[in-house]
Amino acid sequence: MNIKTIIGLGVIALLVFMGISKYNTLVEQEQNVEQSWAQVENQYQRRADLVPNLVNTVKGAADFEQETLTEVTEARSRASSIQISADDLNNPQKIQQFQQAQQQLSGALSRMLVTVEKYPELKANQNFRDLQVQLEGTENRIATERQRFNEAVQSYNTTVKRFPNNVFAGMFGFDDKAFFEADKGAKEVPEVNFD
């Protein structure tokens, strides 16, 4: 064997080991993104599971506006019907569709809780207060998990785009993942009016 052959085999071996290392890093980070997404879905499911209990408690404790309860129930149904697979994490439109359905549920719940202010006997109901606290805690968990998901996506996307990772990512089919984006109107300051 001549020196050129030995150097050529060494370069090939180095590229193979480098490729294996980069591939494993990409797989690990992709799994982290998928695990983070599963936590986001877990918290949204927790909220969806609380909604029927909240609606039933409200319905049972007051002569409540049926339109508000129907809106919450329908929003929950729409939010629960949209499923995101691992492949969908590369699709910003699918993430946006999921996010819009969740925003509709958040809005319906907010309107229901504002309407509850008219019913002092309901606000005094311990079951309602417990559910409301759980719902508030769940909303905080959702925000935390969405932030963790975006951090995992940012780390993954950075790895995919860096050289020489981008070469191996392209060869092995690792594409960018979509971020959760801020809710529309999140930058606007809410108006507080006590009239």
Residues 71-120 pLDDT 10s? 888 888 888 888 888 888 888 888 888 888 888 888 888 878 777 777 76
| Residue 39 reports pLDDT greater than 70 | yes
Q: CA 13 to CA 9: how far, in whole Å?
A: 6
Q: CA 11 to CA 5: how far, in whole Å?
A: 10
Instruction: Give me the pLDDT at residue 33, please.
Output: 92
> What value does the mean pLDDT of the chain take?
82
Q: Which pLDDT band holds residue 34 (cuts at 50, 70, 90)?
A: very high
| Section 156-173 average pLDDT | 90
Please check whether residue 23 is in contact with residue 168, taking contact to mean a CB–CB distance below 8 angstroms. yes
Find how far residue 28's CA is from the centre of its chain. 19
Structure tokens at 155: 């780390």
| Residue 163 reports pLDDT greater than 80 | yes
Burial of 90 (0-12, 13-18, 19+ CB in 10 A): middle
Coil, helix or strand for 100?
A: helix
Q: Which pLDDT band holds residue 194 (cuts at 50, 70, 90)?
A: very low
| Residue 192 reports pLDDT greater than 50 | no
Higher pLDDT residue, 118 or 36?
36
Where in the chain are the domains? Answer: 40-163
Instruction: Give me the pLDDT at residue 63, please.
Output: 61
Q: CA 54 to CA 115: how far, in whole Å?
A: 13
Residue 185 DSSP symbol: T
| Residue 46 reports pLDDT greater than 90 | no
| Residue 187 reports pLDDT greater than 70 | no
Q: Which pLDDT band holds residue 123 (cuts at 50, 70, 90)?
A: low
| Residue 155 reports pLDDT greater than 80 | yes
| Residue 67 reports pLDDT greater than 80 | no
**Verdict on whether the full-model pTM lies above 0.85:** no
Place domain 40-163 in its CATH homologous superfamily: LemA-like domain (1.20.1440.20)
